[in-house]
A and B are shown apart, each in its own frame.
Chain A
Amino acid sequence: MLGAEALIKALEKEGVDVVFGLPGGANLPIYDALVDANLRHILVRHEQSAAHMADGYARIKRKAGVCFATSGPGATNLITGIATAYADSSPMIAVTGQVPLAMIGKDAFQETDIIGVANPCTKYAFQPRAAAEIPETVKKAFYISESGRPGPVLIDIPKDVQQAREEVAFPNLIKVRGYNPIVDADLSQLERAVQAMMKAEKPIIMAGGGVILSGAFSELQALAELLMAPVVTTFKGKGSFPENHALAMGPIGMHGHAEANKIIIEADCIIAVGARFSDRSVGRFDEFGKGMTIIHLDVDPAEIGKNKAADIAVVGDVKSSLRTAVKMLTKYKIVKRAIDDPWLKRRKELIDYYADSIKDYPRELTAKKALKKLRELLPHNAIVTTEVGQCQMWASLHFDVIAPGTFFSSTGLGTMGFGFPASIGAKAAKPRSIVVDIAGDGSFNMTENSLAVSVLDKLPVIVFLMNNYMLGMVAQWQRTFYKRRYSGVHQQNCPDYAKIAEAYGAQGIRAQTMEELDKALKKAMNTDVASVIDISIDPEEDVYPFVAPGTGLKDMITGA
């Protein structure tokens, strides 16, 4: 069989049902093989969006999404999407065409050393040099991408390898000797961790993206309820714990919930689960967690001690580590913290305090009110993603995720233009769910041509466009740190987003008031075509609270 056919068959064997991509000279054989494949191919309008769609698909399906691009510019267009997936540990298989083997290194037309380019933002990159190598390569790629700490893997296939007709075999078992992703948690370390958790008077759970990646939702909830410990999340961990739960405190960080940022610095023991102590979450590494016992559970040994030294570290899949910890705690029959325990009272006190002291922006329609309305109208199982900027941070602050695993965002790389294509990928993964992209106008601009995909491939999503005609987050920093000297942030009322939507055959609805927003949302939720709701947001509205870069969580600013 041809190399290209071997690729498609190998993907089918991995259970792939959809690929996102765009053809070109160097992957024509693959596109020809697609004609007879049992795969749905979704034609994108820009390869960056193909990678984001595969990423969005992966985050909801919790298995690798697949994207295709040709060599050279097709492959480099994927890179932003691959880097985004890498920063958020999202599984992805990117398949690129390459110039024929004999042309490699000759600066051929559309030749880019994509293995070299992709190296720092992939878990691994393969270049099969014979058709017969393809099935094993694909199997290894999926194994590496999906296991341990997931991430993107690139397969770069020279055109002659795609075209070669060879005898191929499809292996059932493969081994990668330098790769041992799953470490069984050390039971004595877990025992120490459990002892420290029980001893703590003011324990706090800090749940990160690892909880979502391993699907450890019920285990996390069981741990929290056994310890009666308040739960904060990182931004990546938003939605790992129901945000309406009696122990929930919301995300910490640069634009975290004020009560979450406050309570974590008052704790005596931090139980970090699948979190990597990023600067955006914890502020200054040297200040964070000082004098507290830090327990760190993570699947990636390299995260232990990278940003923050742990007192007790447990390396292993967090789902199984949590399950064991819960068993141990149950065996010890710990006496639950009563609801009038001082630590839980403190939780309530902080929530009430900040609810009163952080004032909403003085306007009829504000970001907060708009997002509360969205929450009110959306069913709990709707999937929500975001773009980047103020829109994203407002979503983090004001949109409560109730059903675990229904929220994701480009948190590590902060990629503008991610949310919309990713929401389409999520819709492909779960067609029956309502999918919403909480967007800013600047971000939406970057990948809005995915409207064609949303309409033509019948993957309708709702773009909740918080339109301030500004690169709003940058404008906020210029207001705060550069004496309002605006530079390069105005979008000058261009374009008309409702018209853009209509031009693609989608529905465009304007909302200037809360009442119009209510109607627009109901209309969007009740059609089977993509909708862009152009919501007017005041360009001066800031996001608070704010922990300025280079400062600690204690330095949080709660208003102008």
Chain B
Amino acid sequence: MKTGDTLSQNDAVSWHLVAALVENKPGVLFRVTNLFRARSFNIESITVGSTEQVDLSRMTITTKTDEKTLDQLVKQLRKLIDVVEVRVLETSKSVYRELALIKMKAEKPTARMEITTYASIFRANILDIDKDTIMVEITGTPDKIDAFKNLVNSFGIIQLARTGVSALPRGENV
């Protein structure tokens, strides 16, 4: 994003992926989340994990916001000393995935059948079954996970855990 030019006056809210490389040391996640809180940036998900470089972590942040707030979010993130690099990823030029674990009621055999069928259509894995429940693991874009969740909602979701999104730019882009 340019620092120089006129900001677009577009205040339509849309979904954005922000990727950051940060120092791999204690306190960094606190500094980032404290910044979001202090400046009222609305974050949908944030993931942190190791990278190909031992001393750097990759953070992926998703947010629903307008262009002006996104511009501020990126610039304020860049100001943090422990944040080495920040980029807004274009969804069409990146791969982004989330993982969810969903535990559902499945007392009747028909329910088990149905859930197993849906799972295979969504390429989800059955991780655990006991006499009353099934746990499914699904990986995909947040939309796909939403779709699956809506589909199985009627069985009765007992517990659900989503990891938040991880993303990398496609191809040779780094």
Chain A residues packing against B (C-beta within 8 Å): 115-116, 119-120, 123-124, 144, 176-179, 183, 186, 189, 300-302, 304-306, 309-315
Contacts and interface: CB of A to CB of B under 8 A. Distances in A.
A305 B80 contact: no
Contact of B4 (A119, A302, A315): A315
27 contacts: A116-B30, A119-B30, A119-B34, A124-B81, A177-B84, A178-B22, A178-B23, A178-B81, A178-B82, A183-B3, A300-B79, A301-B75, A301-B78, A302-B75, A302-B78, A302-B79, A305-B7, A306-B72, A306-B75, A309-B6, A309-B7, A310-B7, A311-B6, A312-B6, A314-B4, A315-B3, A315-B4
A116 B37 CA distance: 14
Contacts of B83: 178
B68 interface: yes
Contacts of B72: 302, 305-306
A304 B23 contact: no
Given A302-B76, A306-B75, 8 more contacts: A119-B34, A120-B38, A124-B81, A177-B84, A178-B80, A178-B82, A300-B79, A305-B72
Nearest to B68: A305
Nearest to A313: B4
A304 B81 contact: no
Contacts of B5: 313
A179 B9 CA distance: 29
A312 B6 CA distance: 6
Contacts of A302: 72, 75-76, 78-79
A124 B84 CA distance: 14
Contacts of A301: 3, 75, 78
Contacts of A310: 6-7
A310 B6 CA distance: 6
Contacts of B27: 115
Interface string B38-79: 100000000000000000000000000000100110011011
Interface residues of B, number: 25
B112 interface: no
Given A119-B31, A311-B6, A305 B84 contact: no
A144 B80 CA distance: 11
Contact of B9 (A115, A189, A304, A309): A309
A123 B23 CA distance: 16
A120 B40 CA distance: 13
Interface string B76-99: 101111111000000000000000
A120 B31 CA distance: 8
Nearest to A190: B4
Nearest to B26: A127
B2 to A, nearest CB: 9
Residue of A183, A300, A306 with most chain B CB atoms under a 10 A cut-off: A306
A314 B4 CA distance: 6
B84 A186 contact: no
Nearest to B72: A306
A313 B82 contact: no
Nearest to B84: A178
B86 to A, nearest CB: 10
> Shortest 10 CB-CB distances between A and B: which pairs?
A302-B75, A301-B3, A178-B84, A305-B7, A309-B7, A124-B81, A189-B4, A313-B4, A315-B3, A179-B81
A186 B2 CA distance: 11
A248 B76 CA distance: 34
A311 B3 CA distance: 12
Interface string B1-41: 00111110100000000000011000100110010001000
A436 B9 CA distance: 46
A144 B72 CA distance: 21
A188 to B, nearest CB: 9
Given A119-B30, A186-B4, A313-B3, A305 B71 contact: yes
Nearest to B34: A119
A302 B35 CA distance: 13
A506 to B, nearest CB: 41
Contacts of A123: 81
A312 B5 CA distance: 6
Contacts of A312: 4, 6
A120 B68 contact: no
B4 A304 contact: yes
A310 B7 CA distance: 7
Nearest to B37: A120
B4 to A, nearest CB: 5
B38 to A, nearest CB: 5
A36 B72 CA distance: 48
B57 to A, nearest CB: 12
A48 B82 CA distance: 28
Contacts of A144: 81
Nearest to A121: B38
Nearest to B1: A301
A226 to B, nearest CB: 23
A527 to B, nearest CB: 46
B81 A176 contact: yes
A142 to B, nearest CB: 14
Q: Which of A186, A305, A315 has the most CB of B within 10 A?
A: A305
A302 B34 CA distance: 17
B81 to A, nearest CB: 5
B123 to A, nearest CB: 38
A311 B8 CA distance: 10
A542 to B, nearest CB: 35
A144 B79 CA distance: 11
A211 B25 CA distance: 36
A120 B81 contact: no
Contacts of B78: 301-302
Interface string B128-140: 0000000000000
A64 to B, nearest CB: 16
A230 to B, nearest CB: 25
Contacts of A115: 27
Contacts of B31: 119
